[in-house]
Structure 1
Amino acid sequence: MKRLAVLILAAVCGLGGVAWGQPRKPRIAVGGLVAESNSLYPRANPMRESSPVSREEWLHAAAVANTVPSGIVEAAGKLGLDVYPVLRAGASSLGYVEKSSFDEKLNELVRQIKTASPPYDGVILVQHGAMVVDGYPQGDAEVVHRVRQAMGRPFPIVVTHDFHSNVCQEIVDDSDVLITYKENPHLDPKQRGIQAATIIAGMIRGSIKPVQAIARPPMIVNIVYQDTFHAPYKPLVDESRRLERTNPKILAVSVPGGYQWGDVPALGPSVIVVTDNDRALAEREAKRLSDMLWALRDRLVFRAPDAAAAVKDAMAATSFPVVLMDTGDNIGGGSAGDGTTLLGELLRQKAQGWVVVIADAEANRAAFQAGIGGAFSQMVGGKTDRMHGDPVRVTGRVKALHDGKYVETEVRHGGGRYKDMGRTSVIEAEGSTLDLPNLLLLTDHPTSPDSLHQLISNGVYPQRQRILVAKGTTAPRAAYEPVAARIVEVNTPGATDINPARFTYKHVRRPLFGVD
């Protein structure tokens, strides 16, 4: 991006310490509280601090990943910034965040930023953007508000968000810059980290003065339409890139799609435009892109086959594999990963050549007790609740056992590299043939299907199968599209049911297209 390159050059030329009459490099804190809260699910989750690591360990981990901190660390070396990790904490997605643990962690985050010696010159808050806390519907906004209260102005606060963020006016008011991922699947976190570091460097140097504006059309964009690499959402993302590339006054344009399982007033997509001291331009372009979103609404009417129809259609396909997205049990969206709707339907219709992954530690223990080659007959899945189907009897033999760890070497959704599912077992289920085995992969922990190595590391080769079930909606596409003949989003029940009509929203704006 031309604008980004100019900012980097300007920052490098001015961040050597002499520009401020001080011998040290500017010090930037990087941290935050992260949760993608499915607040439609009635459960409180504690906010837990990430395992403490040294700065050196943090820098190394960032260097080998594709995350927002990866981009910040890479850019910092070129920009003359010293970056330091401060508190990082997170909470489970299935439910909302419990208030007392949130307050405790947030107070500690603020303390670490405020009392640092030497003092920090700015902070990049790496947040998700869809956190709901008991007492704070817009949890991310509360984080930024308290940091702003503690540090005052003009202390630079740059915020990064996931694409699935519900952005409110308050967080835009309290932050200097808010940037969200452009891509879904999320392949660009590192680029957003570079962008955030570049902008905060320019702020500290005094070469730019960011102002920002937000516009929010009265709608939701159903997650099945949030694939930014295809229409209808792709043209909007393309326009955001064009503005950043061609207008030197525009520092960042974000077009997050929203997170439809957050029952909050800010539910829905938004447009955030950051300019160099041109508020009118920011407001004008935010409104224009918001109007582009609103104009898409006739193409966003919810449609998706149910499990029975999807399995029947996949069995009749002539090109394979067909990937069935188990959208109601979307692990990345906060579900438990033990939904049985599609598994039960595959067994009922006597499909062959399928692969299903289920998080079920109890059934997995039974597989380990049986050992490789041992008989297996267990009730599988459906144990977290009854939203995702009942437990299903699976009979077969144990084909493989594994430690559940694997490495993703490609850039995939979220940018992570090292994965750990807990122990895993592969069950060759009833109805298998040598050419078309039916394979059930059991895991101890739910793990979002963002990598084919989840299967390959367990001796399951997706290209050889006819039907692959992935518990997600859009996120798995980056991994599965290279091998899939077709990908189908299936309307399965669960905590992440993609049909808004199955939920009762109490706190959203009304009327809201896609809900009303």
Structure 2
Amino acid sequence: MKLAVAGIFHETNTFAPGITESDDFAREWVQGNDAFYRRYEHTGTSMGGVIDGAQLEQAELACGLYAAATPSAMVSRNAAEALMDAVLSSIDLSSDGIILILHGAMVAEGMSDVEGELLRRIRELTGPAMPIAITLDLHANISRQMADHADLLVGYDTYPHIDACERAVEAVQLLARMIRGDIKPVLSLAQPRLLIVPQVMLTDTDGPMKALMERAFAIERDPAILNVTVAGGFPYSDVPDAGVAFVVTADHNARLAAQYAEELSLMAWELRDQLKSAGYAAAEAAALAFAEPEGPVILVEGSDNVGGGAPADATHVLKELIGAPKKSLIVIRDADAAALAHRQGTGTAFQAAIGGKNGGLHGEPVLIAGVVRFLFDGPYTHIGPYMTGQWADMGQTAVIESGNLTVILTEKRTAPWDIGHVTSVGLRAEDYHVIVVKSAVAWKTAFGPLCKKIIPVDTPGCCGENLSHFHYTQIKRPIYPLDSETTYRRVISDENL
């Protein structure tokens, strides 16, 4: 059995400043079997999972192009077309089946559903008989086009995402069963018209998302069900299909798949009031953190979530840490400031206005004065549970110490998904009373075991918790909570059946 593997992975924040171009995918542009195995074998990534799954099924892999970029702003149309062309030309069409590693929330200029369009174009090449499986992030905005053109759709079950490898193994094994003729998958998509923020999508603590996942796992115990995917969606992509979605895959039984999908959709609707989140203003959050007797206290600045496409240079919390009474740590992406520190050298006095380079939404530059304590060229490897073995790169990096405040200045936007974010520059997270994370939830894979207190911060930003602050023009209406319940009309239509 020969399986072709390829993919494009990008979470697009249509409210983020700037534009994402082809060059932004250069950091992870891997093509061909030798490069794919060298980069991903024995890693906890989706790509590593495809390798593991193929070995379990004794299948040969034909590795095409896999390209990924850090979550960021809208992808240019030229970049999207170039990426899709490159993926299409890299797929070995003599294979028995195809597995695509996708995110599910990629948006380009004039193209609201890049993954769906890619699948449509692949189907034009292969015809309807080619078995195709896809893996998706839990924050996918799953469209009808994705469900129509994929035979198997397998999404992450966890947030923070620690099961990417396992879900890819599952997808490969289902694909192999389909190729052998053991199963005939049928998919049903249900969308309950709910838009929720990442902060309420936690699957490792009691709450609505965990309840939905547990029901999905119970449904999967039905012998006729092959997979249940629960997607929280990505609310910072203004696209028609943004929001919560459920895909149930059954063996032969379309009616049963639709029944279970609609059951989960109705369950989510009943839980809608629990699927809300709120935080503290920056000054109040900082005061509460310093008042805590024991740290580390995590200030969660989700509005500047790197993993959601934010610029990583918001200064709303930073300015509250100037003159901090207890040891505090924050990471700010400022390429110019990091380069300045590198020019000056370790041990020199440092003074500059940092951050706030992406417009008023994320604050203005804040002046800090201190000493350059450490310089680093940026690359490290994930050692924690989130995509273990994945490569990360902060670019030119400098550690600035200003009294009790330590600032890590980075050239590149790098999400705090792994403790290497801090240990790579010689720091120990447990030495700080306050740690600011530019993340919504995934920071837990780096700092969760050390955390004594979590304080959510509600500040302006392109990943803010208050969705009413965003001007949506493309999303399918009505949708909760953008439309009040007094005018909201519950939509159950044939598209969900």
AA aligned to 2:303 is G
| Mean Cα deviation higher: 235-244 or 122-131 | 235-244
Mapped pair 1:461 → 2:461: no
2:359 is aligned with 1:385: yes
CA contact (8 A) 2:383 2:418 kept: no
1:304-342 per-position Cα deviation (integer Å, ceiling 9, x unaligned): 111111111111112211001111111010011111111
Q: Letter of the 1:227 partner, please give it.
A: L
The residue type paired with residue 151 of structure 2 is: D
The two structures have a TM-score, normalised by structure 2, of 0.93
- Residue number among 93, 100, 103 corresponding to 1:128 in the alignment: 103
- State the alpha-carbon separation in 2 of the partners of residues 58 and 441 from structure 1: 32
Of 208, 217, 221, 1:241 maps to 217
Relative to structure 1, the CA distance from residue 407 to residue 97 in structure 2 (aligned partners, 3 Å threshold; closer, same or farther) is closer
User: How far has the Cα of 1:71 moved from its partner?
Assistant: 1.1
Q: How far is 1:288 from its partner?
A: 0.7
Specify the code of the residue in structure 1 equivalent to 2:214: D
Partner of 1:340: 315
Tell whether the 8 Å contact from 1:46 to 1:91 is kept in structure 2 after alignment: no
User: SS at the partner of 1:274?
Assistant: strand
The answer for the alignment partner of 1:470 in structure 2 is 437
Q: Tell me which moved more, 249-258 or 360-369.
A: 360-369
Decide whether aligned partners of structure 1 residues 226 and 66 sit closer, same or farther in structure 2, where only a CA change above 3 A counts: same
Tell me, in whole angstroms, the C-alpha distance in 2 between the residues paired with 1:388 and 1:304.
16
Alignment of 1:430-441 (within 5 A): 432=403, 437-441=404-408
Larger Rg belongs to: 1
8 Å Cα contact 2:298/2:435 also seen in 1: yes
Give 1:92 shift. 5.6
What does 1:60-79 align with in structure 2 at a 5 Å threshold? Answer: 60-79=38-57
Aligned: 1:107 with 2:85: yes
**Aligned-partner SS, 1:482:** helix
* TM-score (norm: length of structure 1): 0.89
Distance 1:64 1:358 in 2: 32
The equivalent residue for 1:16 is: none
* Matching residue's letter, 1:466: H
Separation in 1, partners of 2:78, 2:414: 28
1:73-88 mapped onto 2 (5 Å cutoff): 73-88=51-66
Separation in 1, partners of 2:54, 2:67: 23
Return 5+ residue gaps in structure 2 as ranges.
484-497
Q: 2:276, 2:128 → 1: CA distance? A: 44
For 1:252-271, list aligned pairs within 5 A. 252-271=227-246
Quick one: which of 494, 498, 509 aligns to 2:476? Answer: 509
- Name the CA shift for 1:89/1:61 in 2 (closer, same or farther; >3 Å): closer
Aligned ranges for residues 240-389 of structure 1 at < 5 Å? 240-244=216-220, 246-347=221-322, 350-389=324-363
Aligned-residue offset at 1:298:
1.4
Residue 492 (structure 1) shift: 1.7
CA contact (8 A) 1:30 1:125 kept: yes
Q: Which amino acid aligns with 1:87?
A: L
Aligned residues: 479
Identical aligned pairs, as a percentage? 32
Aligned position for 2:488 = none
Matches within 5 A, 1:183-202: 183-202=158-177
Amino acid at match of 2:79: S
Structure 1 distance, partners of 2:422, 2:479, is 40
Aligned counterpart in structure 2 of residue 173 of structure 1, from 136, 148, 152: 148
> Structure 2: how far apart are the matches of 1:227 and 1:483?
18
- Mark the CA change 1:92 to 1:411 in structure 2 (over 3 Å): closer, same or farther: closer
Range 254-263 or range 393-402, more displaced: 393-402
Residue-by-residue CA offset, 1:184-231 (whole Å, 9 max, x unaligned): 111000011101100110011000100010111011122210111121
1:417 and 2:393 equivalent? no
Tell me the alpha carbon deviations over residues 28-66 of structure 1, each in whole angstroms, 9 at most, x when there is no partner.
Answer: 111122221111236432244643444123113222311
Q: Which amino acid counterpart does residue 106 of structure 1 have in structure 2?
A: M
Q: What residue in structure 2 maps to residue 218 of structure 1? A: 193
What's the secondary structure of 2:231's corresponding residue?
coil
RMSD: 1.7
Give how far 1:259 is off.
0.1
- Equivalent residues of 1:224, 1:489 under 8 A apart: no
Tell me which amino acid in the other structure corresponds to 1:74.
D
- For residues 42 and 462 of structure 1, the distance between their equivalents in structure 2, rounded to whole angstroms, comes to 30
Structure-1 residue corresponding to 2:487: none
Alignment check: 8 A CA contact 1:222 1:514 kept: no
2:67 is matched with 89
Measured in 1, the distance between the counterparts of 2:273 and 2:32 equals 51
